[in-house]
Amino acid sequence: MTQAKTQQTVPEESKPYYQKIQHLLSHYEEGWDIFINAGRANDFDYPVIRKEGYENDPYLPDTWIGLIDRVCDIIATEEMGLDVYPRRIEIIRPDQMLDVMTTIGLPGSYRHWSFGKDRLMNEEKYNQDKHLAYELVINSVPSIAYCMETNPPFMQALVIAHACYGHNAVFKNNYLFQEFTNAESILQDVERMRDFVFECEETYGRQEVSDFLDFCHAMRFMDVPDTNRKKKLSPRQIEERAKERRMRRHEPTGKEESVFKSVRAAEHFETARIRRDKSGHPHQGEKNILGYMAKHFTHMEPWKRELMRMRSELSEYFKPQMMTKVVNEGFASYTHYKIMSKLFEIGLIDYGMHQEFINSHKGVLIQPSSVRELEHPQTGEMVQVLEPKSINPYTLGFNILMDVERICTEPTEEDKEWFPAIAGNGEPLETVKHIMESCSDETLVERFLSPQVMRDMKLFAVESSKDGGYVEITAIHDDDGFAKVRDILAQNYNLGENLPDVRFYDRQEMGDRCLILRHNSIDGQILDQNETQQVLKHIHRQTKFPVVVESVDDKGKVLQKISSPPNYDYKANANPVHENDNFDLDDLDLDLDGFDI
Amino acid sequence: MSGTTVIDRRDEPLERKFGTDIERFHERNREVMRKAINKEAGDRSFKDIGKKGMYVPIPKESIQEPVIQHAQGTGSIRRVFPGNKFDTGDKIPVGGGGGGGAGGKEASDDDTPGKDDFVWVSPEEFLDILFEGRKLPDMTKLRAEGVHIKEKEHAGFTNVGPSHKMDASLTEKKRKGDEIVLSKSSERRLVKNLTEQFNILAKYDEELPVLDFSKKSRKERIDYASEKLKAVQQRYQINLETDTSKKDNLRPLLEEAVTALKDRLRDKVTDDQDRQRIQVLEERLPEQMKAKEKAGGYRRDHLTYRYDDEIPQPMAKAVMFCQMDVSFSMQEEEKAAAKSFYWLLYNFLQAKYDQTDIVFIAHTTQAWETDEQEFFYGQESGGTVVSTCLEKTKEIIESRYPPSEWNIYCAQASDGDNVLADNALVTSFMEELLEDVQAFYYTEVGRPYGQTLLPIYQEMAQRYQNLHTTRIMEPGQALDAFKKFFPADAAMAAPQP
């Protein structure tokens, strides 16, 4: 009878991935037991002894880490069908991990005091609780995964499955990463920026460069375009372009050039003026303000503009990671869960290692509740208060994907109603992979957050009231609330909701060249006065021109105005200082590139 | 071919080609840190300098990184949270300081201006900033030339050595570890071998069960085996030892069963392949048994011996006399400068001698022996008579530190103020002292004014090789003074013990 049952579902032993693993391990002395033995010895440096005749076979991993990676590789690519970039696993010490964590998460980044500050704080935190990330993975080709030397063997297997196959697959296949990042060249780009910063430091002095980078850092969230339609270049082309730009660094600035261009400029200027009088500034709505400055503020020194451009590209690289936290962590957790379970199922790891894995898996997926019971200070009664806890992206992502799997195979009536397209389609893995490829956090929640997950996580929506101190529960995980909770959560993951949506509005080229930015306010939110003032101060100091940011609601009403210098009335300076036709063109730094002539 | 490379970077140093971020952070806050560290160097015991790090407060303004962001608590905010206990329409209070329910920002955001952040400065960085990046002299290189005694010291373990040095517990530990791993795996191989033989034989007798041990714990296996083998027992009337209380009995049990079966069934095995297989397995058996037996044995690489190394011991003693004017004319900063110098000298002597004593002599118009606390922090009124201090030093040398046994070093710090009439006495005492001491270091601290001791000492230094003089203004210069006393070519200038 048991035989009949095994014939229905294909036994693991006859699947191609199993045979591949068997073939691989047959070259090793300890064979199938090698991972269990290393787990018992608690040593990932466990010697892997190849059988006679294979000692020097370069195709057989010679380290335990290499071997477990190969097995994960076989399961991930053969059994799960993941498409991944090549990988590089680096085993590092805690102090090296601190270094990696500090620089914006990229190896070989440029040096800046703010990273030093982060490093000192991380180090201090580490000295206190002796806890660091188990791994860190870079979206590059090859994808670099840093694994800590302090991880026990089962944890190394887990992080390799998580980072090298889970995250890696998202990096390679998710549409946002495909659009915004250039994984093939990022490592070279970063190193090029580091070299360039170093070169500038030697030429212009550390103080000057550091101040300018402060300004670039202050432009965070205003340095990424909405969409990227740029043609992807090969690393070689990028290298050539960079070389070209570098050569131009010591050439005369735009200011000097304008003398020669003045005749042509006068014509262009007129055309441009007529055009913009009709329909606003041609760059209105531009989100990448730092990029705009790099391109059009020709009066700034070329090295500064080059740094701005580099910095803007770097931010672009990070944009998809900010937009896919849930998708990324969810899919990586899903992958490590699948791979580790498979290892246990086919007996490559023993019960003890599997138990350890389950424990740390649970630890990662822990989701603290946002409701806490407190003793009322006056009455002494127990009252329930809202203690905002953000949703753990690992938990949410993992839960959604696991539930999609359930919906695909064993749908309930409710699921059929909510997800007619995927319910009972019988292809859980393919569906999950498709979701990973085509979703951002916002769309993942919008399209695939099921009532079951909302119930499991007990999600509820609140709205803060004006009187402060109290919030109102607007929807909970019941039949009436599911759709609302889902929509609000999706909104929460919309980047614009959390980060101010600041865009280029106008530049008074005819007058004082004041830069005017607009913040599109949602629900009457305004900007932080102090911080924004500081940012504007940076812009003003570096560009030498005044700058204004206005918060505008959807009806066009100005809610708030912040400027540098403070209380600056830009409208009074909108027109040329010399109110006649023969104004001196050399006084103006025309950004000719800016107009499509 | 797999697309993974594994790089082991554990032995690699940190990448420092382009300087460090921390270095740039320090540079940015240099002035604040330098002040804090100089103050701390003045406050702490000079024996502790370079051993402990410290927290330096950094004003928030200088490390602020502004970024465009929403003002908190403006507008109406809609958010989703986990862990519900309410119903729609409830109004609940907000706790935990997350004003407006802005999730993800619950970390304490106290933006009160003027509040300082603290940065940890390690002992090395402390010294680096105290001496303003001047390189500390490599004191260990100056280690004594006159080596008299060698002592044996424990210095690790080796795999070869004389039998009396064997470390039994470590050796046993290594063996035990191997035994656990090896005996288990060889036991497993044996069981596998026997099971396969049993299963082949079972094919030729329909009433015999098929054994399958996969996915069973050890306890389950033995239960399972004894259960199944009962059939064999009944059929062939063999008495098998089916005691399931011992998990280790599995293999003997199987062995017995297989041997018994073989006697009865061997001729019935008709298939050629099966017969060959059984033969192969039988041949393998003794080898596997041997491996099992050998698993518990000692191997060459288990043997561990203690290893003792011969360490040269410089047997020499030194005493360092710290002499300082503690009258009001010496200010805190001047004392801190003197302290930095004492620290350097003390470390130097410690590296050079195996025993270093320190004697503190404070003086105003008279001199007395004291402890470090009072030496640096005591403030006495009165004038200054330097000769009393020299006299006291001489007294102590005569009573406790005979020059024939001790290397004597004197370090005097003073602002140079002295009663004019005393200068002649100073000269005569100095001449006596200089006969006995290895070296006498005089540092004058603070800015020069009026008539000071320095010219007198300088004049004397021309006659006496072991008298050294200098002037320092602030702690950072102590190292320069030290370097002046001990030039890079240390063998030439370093006093011979």
**Which of B24, B80, B106 lies nearest to residue A111, judging by beta carbons?**
B24
Alpha helix segments (H runs only) across A279-371: 289-296, 302-323, 325-345, 351-364
- Average per-residue pLDDT for chain A: 84
Please report residues of A whose CB lies closer than 8 A to that of B111: 530
Write out the DSSP string of B406-468.
EEEEEEEEE-S---GGGHHHHHHHHHHHHHH-SEEEEEEES---SS-SHHHHHHHHTT-TTEE
The answer for B 107-126 residues in CB contact with A (under 8 A) is: 111, 119-120
Give the angle A399-A403-A409 at the CA atoms, nearest 5°. Answer: 155
Cα A252 to Cα A257: distance, rounded to the nearest angstrom: 7
> Between B437 and B447, where is the model more confident?
B437
Contact present, B146 and B312 (Cβ < 8 Å):
no
Residue B135 near chain A (CB below 8 Å) = no
**Which of B1, B24, B80 lies nearest to residue A59, judging by beta carbons?**
B1
- Asked whether residue A331 carries a pLDDT value surpassing 90, the answer given is yes
Read off the pLDDT of residues B117-140 as tens digits, 9 standing for 90 and up. 777 777 777 777 766 655 555 443
Residue indicated by tokens 């918060």: A551
**How distant, in Å, are the alpha carbons of A74, A446, B412, B458, B481 from that of B444?**
75, 77, 8, 11, 10
Cα A166 to Cα A334: distance, rounded to the nearest angstrom: 8
Read off the pLDDT of residues A222-273 as tens digits, 9 standing for 90 and up. 888 877 656 666 667 777 777 776 666 655 544 444 444 444 555 556 666 6
Distance from CA of A387 to the nearest CA of B (A): 5
Cα B164 to Cα B166: distance, rounded to the nearest angstrom: 6
Number of DSSP helices (H) and strands (E) in chain A, helices first:
25, 11
- Average per-residue pLDDT for chain B: 75
Read off the pLDDT of residues A385-399 as tens digits, 9 standing for 90 and up. 888 888 999 999 999
Contact present, A39 and A347 (Cβ < 8 Å):
no
Residue A217 near chain B (CB below 8 Å) = yes
Residue B26 near chain A (CB below 8 Å) = yes
Q: Lowest mean pLDDT: which of A26-35, A342-351, A428-437, B99-108?
A: B99-108
How many Cβ contacts (< 8 angstroms) between chains A and B? 318
The answer for A 180-209 residues in CB contact with B (under 8 A) is: 194, 198, 206
Distance from CA of B483 to the nearest CA of A (A): 30
Share of chain A above pLDDT 70, in %: 86
What average pLDDT does range B230-252 have in this prediction?
A: 72
Spatial neighbors of B108 by CB under 8 A, at least 6 apart, are: B97
The answer for A 366-385 residues in CB contact with B (under 8 A) is: 367-372, 374, 383-385
pTM of the model: 0.68
Residue/partner pairs of B206-215 with CB below 8 Å, 24 or more apart? B207/B231, B207/B235, B208/B232, B208/B235, B208/B261, B214/A347, B215/A347
| Chosen from B27, B30, B81, B219 to mutate, greatest number of chain A CBs within 10 A | B81
SS3 A323: helix
Angle separating helix axes A302-323 and A186-204, nearest 10 degrees: 150
Please report residues of B whose CB lies closer than 8 A to that of A563: none
Q: Do B68 and A61 touch (CB under 8 A)?
A: no
Read off the pLDDT of residues B164-222 as tens digits, 9 standing for 90 and up. 778 888 888 888 888 888 888 888 888 888 888 888 888 877 777 778 877 777 778 88
**Which of B9, B82, B185 lies nearest to residue A457, judging by beta carbons?**
B82
Residue A325 near chain B (CB below 8 Å) = no
Residue A124 near chain B (CB below 8 Å) = yes
Share of chain A above pLDDT 90, in %: 39
- Asked whether residue A3 carries a pLDDT value surpassing 70, the answer given is no
Length of chain B: 497
Give bridge partners of residue B408 from the DSSP assignment: B319
| Chosen from B55, B84, B126 to mutate, greatest number of chain A CBs within 10 A | B84
pLDDT at residue B472, rounded to an integer: 81
Spatial neighbors of A127 by CB under 8 A, at least 6 apart, are: B120
Residue A502 near chain B (CB below 8 Å) = yes
What average pLDDT does range A33-60 have in this prediction?
A: 87
What average pLDDT does range B83-100 have in this prediction?
A: 70
DSSP at B268: G
Contact present, A441 and A327 (Cβ < 8 Å):
yes
The structure tokens listed for B231 are 């059939």
The structure tokens listed for A306 are 């080059």
Please report residues of B whose CB lies closer than 8 A to that of A475: 88
ipTM for the complex? 0.79
